Chains A and B, each alone.
Chain A
């Protein structure tokens, strides 16, 4: 396919900058001073549990929610008081929001109604977008004649046709089934590589965040917990929330005390972490990802009784009772232990994480 005019069109700098962004509903403050800089062409994913403020932030960027405090800059412009249509953004909604009384062509072209382009130029743009999304044959259909994935593609097409500075996606894949979600995830990523626009993508699915983002913004209770690349947030979580939210199954958390050069977990069980440090006697939490905690036949760090076995094919997840806590570990997929077996578990010191038990923050 020849290079798209969409991807070649020169457009103003599409950076996004949030400065001390605050949102209040009456006396209740739900966003508490969000600061973030997004580079031109970057794919940033906001992720967090329900009610963390990610969608509110997105809607404030779109101009659909009033800003209670702070500033939003898109490119060089302060957009706080601009209408949504003046912000040079396009948004894809969770429920698609494509108009049922219009054909696919009219839906995709809807955003061009107020454009000054000639009819020929508009039609060309619609055809181009339809070709990118593989919908050329569906242009005359109505939404009720399309599958869920096709409807979502129309919604993306309607956003693309305007060639905005910033694309906003509000949980666009959450209504699709698992297989289609994986496929659309890939298509959106390819699309981003092709058109290169700045994308802000909101999801509560950490797998979506990990697989699509250049950078992930993890939010909780109206605060940003950590901003970083997918590998950063996975391998160097800033706190216990990020450590448990990113990665499936969640990171194992074992409470203990810092003693000498390691963590004392109780019952005399101690784990040496020579490269780490914490105040002597401090309450700490030792974190180990299930992927890093493996069942071994040799000398282990812990030993415990297998409670539940979950075969995944290549690997097997085993739930092991250790020191009054249940931890999840990885075992071989071919010869997994059975429930009731006593197993030894091991992990490399570099793959263990240390957190302050009171603040939850990561310790050096």
Chain B
């Protein structure tokens, strides 16, 4: 049949045009991959240099070759045997965990209230919270310092943590995510006899797990790498956090980059662990599964 002939024997024009389309597609794909590869290299190079420097002797630090001529783990032994590093590590860990738990809890609580309850001034409160995002940290450290000083929080855990126990960004993020939780879930729970706190905790929170995980990662990383405020609010070496402590390696004459990079390399491990724990929650979306498919 004619139609079969057409199907079996495409014209040469069609073949050529198909082939040119394919080659254009391949070229586009190649460019995309090349850009991604370039971006990946750009992202990973500082980390590679960090690890490379941590394996070098001091005389080789300013030699920018990636593979050390004489690799050594002496820096790791030195840093890990230095009692101060443990103390800073624990300080950072305590501060980051407590701040993350607090920020996730309060941001979600406030975000939920702003999203699901109708009360006078709701919009005003939301705008007020959002507007704090526009003020840079460098400007806030002065009032924070004055507060800390007058309340006796200088050189304490609470002094380091208090600016981060609740965040405007987290509140905004959680409010937006709670918008995706249908009211039917909450009303069903209300009829089932749960009070408002239980509805938030037992019904709404599990439905926004991906957002909570993302927020937890952001807040943990932010606190783990925070430098300016911990530097200002701490006075004693015992209260330093890791970034502040690492910067103190060396003396007035020389900076011990190999030790700083070693400490930095070790300090990236908890952030990797946090990411590995929470990233599966981000990938797994659960909100819509209980609704009409």
Contact = CB atoms under 8 A, between A and B. Distances in A.
A110 interface: yes
Contact of A114 (B185, B193, B290): B193
A83 B195 CA distance: 10
Given A91-B188, A99-B185, A100-B207, A114 B291 contact: no
A84 B190 contact: yes
B184 A93 contact: yes
A248 interface: no
Contact of A89 (B185, B191, B288): B191
Contacts of B185: 97, 99
B30 to A, nearest CB: 39
Given A95-B184, A100-B207, A101-B206, A113 B193 contact: yes
B282 interface: no
B158 to A, nearest CB: 34
A323 interface: no
Contacts of A83: 190
Nearest to B192: A111
Contacts of A148: 292-293
A98 B293 contact: no
Contacts of B193: 85, 111, 113-114
Contacts of B207: 99-101
B286 A101 contact: yes
B187 interface: yes
A122 to B, nearest CB: 13
Given A95-B292, A97-B184, A101-B286, A110 B191 contact: no
Given A91-B188, A148-B292, A175-B292, A97 B182 contact: yes
A143 B191 contact: no
A158 interface: yes
Interface string B184-202: 1101111111100000000
A126 to B, nearest CB: 14
Contacts, number: 82
Interface residues of A, number: 30
Contacts of A97: 182, 184-185, 187-188, 290-291
Interface in B63-121: none
B203 A95 contact: no
A100 B182 contact: no
B161 to A, nearest CB: 30
Given A94-B184, A97-B185, A99-B206, A143 B192 contact: no
A143 B289 CA distance: 6
Contacts of A101: 206-207, 209, 286
Nearest to B286: A100
A169 interface: no
Given A97-B184, A101-B206, A64 B289 contact: no
B290 A96 contact: yes
Interface in B260-291: 286-291
Given A100-B286, A100-B287, A101-B207, A64 B190 contact: yes
A144 interface: yes
Contact of A110 (B192, B209, B289): B192
A113 B184 contact: no
A95 B291 CA distance: 5
A268 B91 CA distance: 100
A220 interface: no
A-B residue pairs, 10 tightest by C-beta: A100-B289, A100-B290, A85-B193, A144-B289, A97-B184, A114-B193, A175-B292, A101-B206, A97-B188, A111-B192
